[in-house]
Amino acid sequence: MKNIILFADTGIDDAIALVYALKSPEVNLIGVVSGYGNIEREKAFRNVEYLLELAGRTDIPVIAGATRPLSGEDPDFFPEIHGIEGLGPIDPPIPEERYANRTNFSKLFSLIKDHRNEVTIVNVGRCTSLAIAHYLSPEVMADVKETYVMGGAFNEPGNATEVAEANFFGDPIAAHYICQNAANLTIVPLNATRNALLTPREVNLIDARSDSPLEKLIKPILDFYYEVYQQLEPGISGTPQHDLAALMAALDISGLYEYSKREVTVEHEGTYAYGESIADFRPGTSNCFGPKCARIALSINQDIFVTNVLHVLTNES
């Protein structure tokens, strides 16, 4: 079992990753950092509180993350993809205002200090909050065992622009910093997460077996997400679970991914390729070694993905 701190921008696929984390016997969720991204920081924070409340796990600390990217620009939000409140059709009965101006980063550092070298960070939103944590306390962050990041697209179309994936595009300065500086880093890009699909049939199966308010949320939010994806990519067989796929990478599930190791940079100064993730995959190149090398999940085994997700979310474990 791993001690995991989830950094999220709690929209739909983040919520599914959170539900999985709460249900998996392999995960000891010790904290959640919730910042801007898919939606505003306060909504993202409120959504985590709501999901934890439904799960009866309000003992898990929620830490307020960043409100805007390191460039200082106003962020774009994505209600058309994640719903106005970030959870599709769900309107959580907690006002977002309750969480305004709540900052408690010291809690993050005490969690890491309490579990020295035994914390896995899984970042499934913009990299801003994680980069800020590194800037604020490199000494404490050096005690993190490993970091997993959902982001990027390598030699692959983006989803925010032609070349950039949304998490890296949302804050390429922070993404570049993390790719270059986080120790024991694994990146789970669109190359893999695009294929981490859950079909309506699988969602119905999960729903038929669900027996708690938290589990009952899965179908409405994924049905909403499915309709959105039918507009975005007509004919797609299911919804891509980007964030769940990144969380599952941290669980070392045998055969789930194929990895390559490369040094990764993120374009954060240019115009046309802003947010693009870059690594050297030219013929003749091979896995790199050393502190700047990141492990990149370039492909996913869909059967293993679906089998594992159904196992955990249909209460078989």
**DSSP string covering 244-295, please?**
HHHHHHTTT-TTSEEEEEEE-EE--S-STTTTBEE----TT-----STTEEE
Active site residue 311: no
The site for Ca ion, by CB under 5 A, has a size of 5
Q: Residue 252 corresponds to which tokens in the numbers above?
A: 């070392």
Q: Which is nearer to Ca ion, 115 or 123 (CB)?
A: 123
d(C-alpha 39, C-alpha 92), whole Å: 14
d(C-alpha 291, C-alpha 185), whole Å: 9
Q: Does residue 239 touch ligand RIB according to CB under 6 A?
A: no
Binding pattern for the stretch 114-133 against ligand RIB, x by CB under 6 A and - elsewhere: ----------xx--------
Single-letter residue type at 272: Y
d(C-alpha 273, C-alpha 259), whole Å: 24
Could you tell me which stretch among 10-18, 177-185, 222-230, 250-258 binds ligand RIB (CB under 6 A)? Answer: 10-18
Q: Does residue 122 touch Ca ion according to CB under 5 A?
A: no
Q: Which is nearer to ligand RIB, 191 or 308 (CB)?
A: 191
Question: Which of 31, 37, 75, 86 lies at the binding interface for ligand RIB (CB under 6 A)?
Answer: 37
Residue 123: beta bridge partners? 7, 149
Quick check: 107 and 133 in contact, CB under 8 A? no
Question: Which of 3, 47, 159, 308 lies at the binding interface for ligand RIB (CB under 6 A)?
Answer: 159
Q: Does residue 88 touch Ca ion according to CB under 5 A?
A: no
Active site residue 74: no
Residues in contact with ligand RIB by the rule CB under 6 A: 9, 11, 13-14, 37-38, 124-125, 150, 159, 165-167, 242-243
